[in-house]
């Protein structure tokens, strides 16, 4: 199997504090990152545990249809091999980038233009 499963959904949000209040306080999803914050209004990235995968709230959303849709992120064991295989299958992908120390990401779109990424932790 090429992918290791669905690992993350990124939801672009306008009001981080209210979104965290909804997903954490109302739906009771545990916060994985940042761990010791009580005021989320200035946070740009908050990760919640959903069990099978993570829900990442990404600040700066502007309700642009298509541009702020959730992004599905699939884990891969080897970024270079996975990207090459997908390109050979006709999948539209960008270049590999370092999203954070030890995290490689490659963005793409599905046939309808929905964004997704493959991600490797190295």
> What was the pLDDT predicted at 69?
75
- Specify the pTM: 0.73
Answer whether 74's CB lies under 8 Å from 104's CB.
no
Domain range list for the chain: 6-121
Farthest CA pair distance, the chain: 46
Q: Which residue has the tokens 């990760």?
A: 47
> What was the pLDDT predicted at 64?
63
> What was the pLDDT predicted at 40?
95
> What was the pLDDT predicted at 81?
95
CATH number of 6-121: 3.10.180.10
> What was the pLDDT predicted at 66?
57
> From first to last of its 122 residues, what are the pLDDT tens digits of the chain?
889 999 999 888 888 999 999 899 988 899 999 989 999 999 999 999 998 899 999 887 776 655 667 788 989 999 999 999 999 999 989 999 999 899 999 999 887 677 889 999 99
Task: List all residues 6 or more positions away from 83 whose beta carbon is below 8 Å from its beta carbon.
Answer: 93, 96, 106, 118
Q: Strand 92-100 and strand 103-109: pairing?
A: antiparallel
As beta bridge partners, residue 56 has 10, 47
Q: Which residue has the tokens 């949000």?
A: 13
Task: List all residues 6 or more positions away from 45 whose beta carbon is below 8 Å from its beta carbon.
Answer: 33, 56, 57, 58, 59
């Amino acid at each position: 199997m090429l992918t290791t499963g669905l690992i993350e959904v990124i939801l672009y949000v306008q009001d981080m504090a209210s979104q965290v209040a909804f997903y954490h306080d109302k739906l009771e999803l545990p916060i994985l990152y940042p761990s010791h914050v009580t005021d989320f209004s200035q946070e740009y990235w908050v990760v919640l545990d959903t069990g099978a995968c993570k829900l990442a709230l990404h600040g700066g959303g502007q309700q642009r249809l298509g541009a702020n849709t959730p992004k599905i992120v699939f884990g891969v064991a080897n970024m270079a091999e996975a990207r090459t295989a997908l390109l050979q299958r006709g999948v539209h992908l960008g270049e590999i980038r370092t999203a954070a120390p030890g995290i490689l990401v490659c963005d793409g779109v599905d046939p309808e233009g929905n964004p997704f990424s493959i991600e490797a932790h190295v």
